[in-house]
């Protein structure tokens, strides 16, 4: 526990030296974060390898019976990506700072505090500690989102984030208060058998699902996620998307661990939410032109995949199906880590693009693969992994969930698992389309603007964190057996007596096939190289393009045209807004075209609703006269009313 | 023991040989059938072998726009399909690699091939190739669920998640010979087969109007050895996906070599059928292709529903 506390302390204080002018670039902060990550990782890995879970107890305070903080396997599993991503983010932040707005020292200080809050949160074993850390995390993230507060859209994003995170917290206050009232203590501990099926159990589940789902960004509750991720500095977006939204998942995982006998509909509801978030998340991502907003919608999609796995495990727990539980939970948990790796990577790469070109608009980019080869390779690696393509890590976790849902086809009481299969297949195909669009538009072809043409590769401090994350994606993808012992230990805490993954899956064969894939690829590359000397061919040839050799960059297929087939095919959910001038006559005037997909909940439901309610409430202006005696009169009338009510 | 080991090795050898040598024959057969039906004599059946040999000797030309991603398309496609072919049983011969869940790996390897092809098309910066790439990813979003509903139905019927037992469960369980679900699955997959292999009525590989093509337009700029890989990859896909279609229909025969023969004959027959379909239908308008694919999704979804009751 000392190790862990030291890690938290180092992370929390990492920004302090910078306040006194010693640490202008943030190298000291980054080193402190690395040290913190090293210590914390050691503590976490020891737990995952079977060491007893260390706990922090303060007996004199008599707070809870199991202590304030417990580094159990679940905590350790969520702790590792927190530490890895924040260390990577800290180094990235050293070189990233380009914006004239916002103070880098301030960002570094709060970044450290956010990391510490996240680390404490995953270990919290007491409701107060949990809520304190939760609130610390929420506020630190708010302060980071609002870094560039001179931009109106940043202020709006941060405001929406603040409101929704507190709405979520409100649900959690309700849930924890109710739970403490029922059990008589503040421990986060197992529920008694039979309690989950009672009406209080139902209410608690719904409150937790709303509170944690809000943080995770599950589909109808996701409103804060796209604007906040787009507005924050990229290493902050990377940490938010990679681990902060996973704290919602952490809460749900803890809930699963507490409940010995969840009713069947819990799993069904979670699966339904997962399918909704997954499919709509990727569908809305297809309609985005802002690189970081696109990635943010993909976070919603991946939360959907995680929820599909979690729901499947819950169904397994309700029906007493051990293999289903093991595969569902393992898929969800592994996807938590995988998503933090590849989405962290993608946000860092997107930040690198923004750093080089000053824009996030896909239609202004293009051809960056030549000027930024390393960033481009990193983004390709992240795209490859997030589409779940072998041999990278995204495939492994999705494979577990697929295996689980195929097994669930035999459940007599639960016919929905074919829906999971269809949803996963559809999500996979759409994600592939979306990342082909994103990678293709940003890095391939020719630059679509002067800014993109003048792009330069980012400094090494930004590239190395990306390389670390990409390497981790590759290792988990090719050698999944390495992480199985730790994963088994986490899964075992979610249900008693679950079978190990090594017995359920043939991971060594996957490794063999992954290596075969790489080997065949290398052989083919060799064969291509071995062709007749290519020197004789003139080096500087245009794309053939059916003879249109004078093609201009603007004539390339744009991101919106690429996605148009799918977006207009799904217009009955996406409602794309298209502004196009009619082209007519022999010599048409110049015309403009733009298309836009706005958020279904925020822009099309909540916004009109809130406008309406503001208009309705404006009628109350009449009673706000601003004169003190009138308000005193109101107080008097209220008191009189209460008095009469009490007497009668 | 030594006998089974020897036969396993023999099968592995035959499988590899079939994967490496056989594929270019299939497009040749299809072209021949189409030529006959049109009253022409057509190119020789072995034409693709000649083409590949010629391309392997030719120099490749690269546009100044392209990067290494341009080569990743052909290389990745062939590599992914070769690995995927290890998972597929050819007729009633055992697949070289078979394990629970290899179905998903198979589908995702096809996805990998598609991803890299699309990226290498976008790498040229050509609007034509971008158009083809966009169509490819849009249509595959419907092909994928059709494939998976079929897998789900077969998994439900056979209780297995591995391609070999799923496709070879001849006359077992609920997917007996030519039972309703099996017919529906195969109908759905036949549509996927035509779409994934860029055949009529979804795509016309022979047209010279780049605007109307899907797959061919994505590889307009490939030449020399990379183009040889593209062509070989396309023919390999015809074989690998073809095995999905013919395997469930083949009877299990006693001798190993008879099974091989039956598979090869069935594959040839499939090529003939594709040729006939291509000769007798016109290409759909692009806007109608999604409806055609949706029919495939529905067919395999109905197959699954039939297995539920």
pLDDT by residue (tens digit) across B191-241? 999 998 888 888 877 766 666 678 888 888 888 899 999 999 999 999 999
A98: pLDDT strictly greater than 70: no
- Residue reference for tokens 């799993």: A267
pLDDT of res. B1:
45
- Looking at the complex, report in whole angstroms how far the Cα of residue B39 sits from the nearest Cα belonging to chain A: 30
Residues of B with CB below 8 A from A390's CB?
A: 105, 108-109, 112
Residues of B with CB below 8 A from A516's CB?
A: 83, 86
Cross-chain residue pair A545–B220, CB shorter than 8 Å: yes
Residues of A with CB below 8 A from B149's CB?
A: 418, 421-422
Question: Which of A432, A506, A555 lies closest to B127 in CB terms?
Answer: A555
- A320: alpha, beta or left? (left if phi > 0; alpha if psi -120 to 50): left
- Looking at the complex, report in whole angstroms how far the Cα of residue B253 sits from the nearest Cα belonging to chain A: 29
pLDDT of res. A335:
95
Residues of B with CB below 8 A from A366's CB?
A: 125
pLDDT of res. B73:
92
Cross-chain residue pair B144–A428, CB shorter than 8 Å: yes
pLDDT of res. B267:
92
Q: Which residue of B has its CA nearest to A526?
A: B75
Cross-chain residue pair B133–A389, CB shorter than 8 Å: no
A535: pLDDT strictly greater than 80: no
Cα-based torsion angle of the residue sequence A34, A39, A42, A46 in order, rounded to the nearest 10 degrees: -150
- Looking at the complex, report in whole angstroms how far the Cα of residue A145 sits from the nearest Cα belonging to chain B: 33
- Looking at the complex, report in whole angstroms how far the Cα of residue A382 sits from the nearest Cα belonging to chain B: 13
3-state DSSP call for residue A389? Answer: coil
Q: What residues does A579 pair with on adjacent strands?
A: A594
Give whole-number Cα distances, B214 to A334, A502, B72, B135, B136, in Å.
Answer: 36, 42, 19, 6, 6
ipTM: 0.93
pLDDT band at B10 (very low <50, low <70, confident <90, very high): confident
Cross-chain residue pair B122–A440, CB shorter than 8 Å: yes
The size of the A-B interface in CB pairs under 8 A is 250
Whole-prediction pTM: 0.92
B179: pLDDT strictly greater than 90: no
B105: pLDDT strictly greater than 50: yes
Tokens of A52: 């007893």
pLDDT of res. A342:
94
- A367: alpha, beta or left? (left if phi > 0; alpha if psi -120 to 50): left
Residues of A with CB below 8 A from B105's CB?
A: 390, 395, 399, 510, 513
3-state DSSP call for residue B63? Answer: strand
Q: Are A255 and A222 contacting, i.e. CB atoms less than 8 angstroms apart?
A: no
User: In sequence order, what E strands does B26-101 have?
Assistant: none
Q: Are A91 and A344 contacting, i.e. CB atoms less than 8 angstroms apart?
A: no
- Looking at the complex, report in whole angstroms how far the Cα of residue B68 sits from the nearest Cα belonging to chain A: 9
Query: To the nearest whole number, what is the mean pLDDT of chain A?
Result: 88
pLDDT band at B308 (very low <50, low <70, confident <90, very high): confident
A295: pLDDT strictly greater than 80: yes
Q: Which residue of B has its CA nearest to A283?
A: B141
Cross-chain residue pair B59–A428, CB shorter than 8 Å: no
pLDDT tens digit sequence for B27-65: 999 999 999 999 999 899 999 999 999 998 888 888 888
pLDDT band at A582 (very low <50, low <70, confident <90, very high): confident
- Residue reference for tokens 């030549």: A370
HEC profile of A556-609: CCCHHHHHHHHHHHCHHHHCCEEEECCCCCCCCCCCCEEEECCCCCHHHHHHHH
Cross-chain residue pair A409–B152, CB shorter than 8 Å: yes
pLDDT band at B177 (very low <50, low <70, confident <90, very high): low
């Amino acid at each position: 526990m000392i190790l862990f506390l030291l890690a938290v302390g180092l992370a929390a204080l990492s920004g302090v030296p910078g306040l006194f002018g010693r640490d202008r670039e943030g190298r000291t902060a980054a080193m402190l974060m690395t040290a913190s990550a090293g210590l914390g990782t050691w503590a976490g890995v020891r737990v995952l390898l079977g060491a007893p879970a260390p706990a922090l107890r303060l007996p004199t305070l008599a707070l809870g019976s199991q202590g304030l903080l417990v580094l159990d396997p679940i905590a350790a599993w969520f702790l590792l990506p927190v530490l890895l991503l924040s260390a990577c983010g800290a180094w990235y932040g050293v070189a990233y700072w380009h914006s004239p707005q916002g103070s880098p020292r301030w960002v570094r200080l709060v970044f450290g505090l956010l990391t510490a809050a996240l680390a404490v949160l995953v270990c919290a074993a007491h409701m107060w500690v949990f809520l304190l850390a939760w609130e610390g995390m929420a506020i630190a993230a708010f302060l980071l989102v609002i870094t560039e507060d001179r931009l109106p859209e940043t202020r709006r994003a941060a405001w929406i984030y603040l409101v929704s995170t507190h709405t979520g917290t409100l649900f959690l206050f309700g849930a924890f208060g109710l739970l403490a009232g029922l059990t008589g203590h503040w421990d986060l501990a197992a529920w008694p058998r039979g309690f989950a099926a009672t009406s209080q159990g139902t209410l608690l589940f719904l409150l937790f699902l709303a509170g944690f789902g809000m943080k995770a960004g599950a589909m109808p509750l996701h409103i804060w996620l796209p604007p906040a991720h787009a507005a924050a500095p990229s290493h902050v977006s990377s940490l938010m998307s990679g681990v902060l939204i996973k704290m919602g998942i952490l809460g749900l995982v803890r809930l699963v661990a507490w409940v010995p006998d969840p009713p069947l509909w819990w799993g069904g509801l979670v699966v339904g939410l997962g399918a909704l978030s997954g499919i709509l998340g990727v569908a809305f991502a297809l309609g985005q032109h802002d690189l970081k907003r696109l990635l943010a919608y993909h976070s919603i999609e991946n939360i959907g995949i995680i929820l599909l796995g979690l729901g499947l495990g819950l169904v397994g727990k309700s029906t007493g199906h051990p293999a289903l539980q093991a595969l569902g939970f393992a898929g969800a948990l592994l996807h938590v880590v995988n998503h933090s790796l590849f989405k962290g990577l993608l946000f860092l790469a997107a930040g690198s693009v923004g750093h080089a070109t000053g824009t996030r608009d896909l239609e202004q980019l293009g051809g960056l693969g030549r000027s930024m080869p390393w960033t481009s390779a990193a983004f390709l690696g992240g795209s490859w992994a997030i589409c779940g393509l072998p041999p990278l890590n995204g495939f492994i976790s999705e494979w577990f969930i697929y295996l689980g849902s195929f097994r669930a086809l035999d459940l007599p009481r639960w016919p929905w698992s074919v829906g999971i299969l269809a949803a996963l297949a559809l999500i996979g195909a759409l994600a592939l389309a979306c990342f082909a669009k994103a990678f293709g538009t940003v890095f391939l072809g020719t630059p679509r603007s002067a800014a993109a043409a003048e792009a330069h590769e980012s400094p090494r401090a930004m590239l190395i964190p990306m390389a670390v994350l990409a390497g981790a994606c590759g290792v988990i993808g090719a050698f999944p057996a390495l992480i199985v012992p730790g994963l088994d230990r986490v899964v075992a805490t979610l249900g008693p007596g679950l079978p190990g993954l090594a017995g359920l899956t043939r991971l060594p064969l996957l490794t063999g096939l992954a290596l075969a894939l790489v080997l065949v690829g290398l052989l083919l590359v060799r064969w291509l190289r071995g062709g007749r000397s290519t020197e004789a061919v003139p080096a500087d040839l245009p794309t053939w393009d059916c003879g249109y050799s004078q093609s201009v960059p603007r004539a390339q297929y744009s991101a919106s045209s690429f996605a148009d087939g799918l977006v207009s095919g799904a217009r009955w959910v996406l409602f794309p807004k298209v502004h196009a001038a009619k082209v007519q006559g022999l010599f048409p005037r110049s015309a403009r075209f733009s298309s836009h997909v706005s958020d279904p909940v925020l822009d099309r439901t909540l916004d009109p609703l809130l406008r309406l309610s503001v208009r309705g409430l404006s009628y109350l202006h009449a009673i706000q006269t601003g004169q003190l005696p009138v308000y005193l009169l109101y107080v008097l009338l209220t008191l009189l009313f209460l008095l009469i009510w009490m007497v009668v | 023991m030594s006998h089974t080991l020897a036969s396993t090795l023999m099968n592995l050898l035959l499988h590899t040989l079939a994967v490496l040598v056989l594929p270019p024959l299939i497009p040749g057969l299809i072209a021949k059938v189409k030529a006959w039906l049109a009253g022409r004599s057509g190119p020789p059946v072995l034409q693709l072998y000649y083409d590949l040999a010629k391309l392997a000797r030719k120099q490749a030309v690269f546009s100044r726009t392209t990067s290494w991603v341009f080569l990743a398309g052909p290389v990745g496609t062939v590599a992914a399909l070769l690995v995927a072919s290890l998972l597929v049983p050819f007729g009633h011969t055992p697949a070289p690699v078979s394990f629970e869940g290899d179905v998903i790996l198979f589908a995702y390897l096809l996805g990998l091939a598609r991803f890299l092809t699309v990226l290498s098309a976008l790498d040229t910066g050509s609007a034509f190739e971008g158009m083809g790439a966009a169509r490819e990813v849009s249509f595959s979003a419907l092909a994928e669920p059709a494939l998976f509903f079929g897998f789900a139905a077969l998994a439900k019927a056979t209780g297995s998640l591995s391609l070999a037992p799923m496709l070879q469960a001849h006359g077992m369980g609920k997917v007996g010979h030519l039972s309703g679900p099996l017919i529906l699955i195969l109908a759905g997959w036949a549509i996927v087969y035509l779409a994934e292999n860029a055949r009529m009525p979804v795509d016309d590989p022979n047209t010279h109007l780049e605007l109307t093509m899907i797959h061919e337009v994505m590889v307009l700029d490939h030449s020399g050895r990379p183009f040889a890989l593209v062509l070989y990859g396309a023919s390999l896909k015809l074989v690998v996906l073809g095995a999905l279609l013919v395997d469930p229909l083949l009877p299990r025969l006693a001798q190993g070599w008879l099974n091989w023969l039956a598979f090869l004959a069935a594959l040839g027959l499939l090529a003939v059928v594709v040729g006939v379909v291509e000769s007798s239908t016109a290409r759909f308008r692009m806007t109608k292709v999604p409806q055609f694919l949706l029919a495939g999704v529905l067919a395999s979804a109905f197959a699954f529903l039939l297995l539920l009751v």
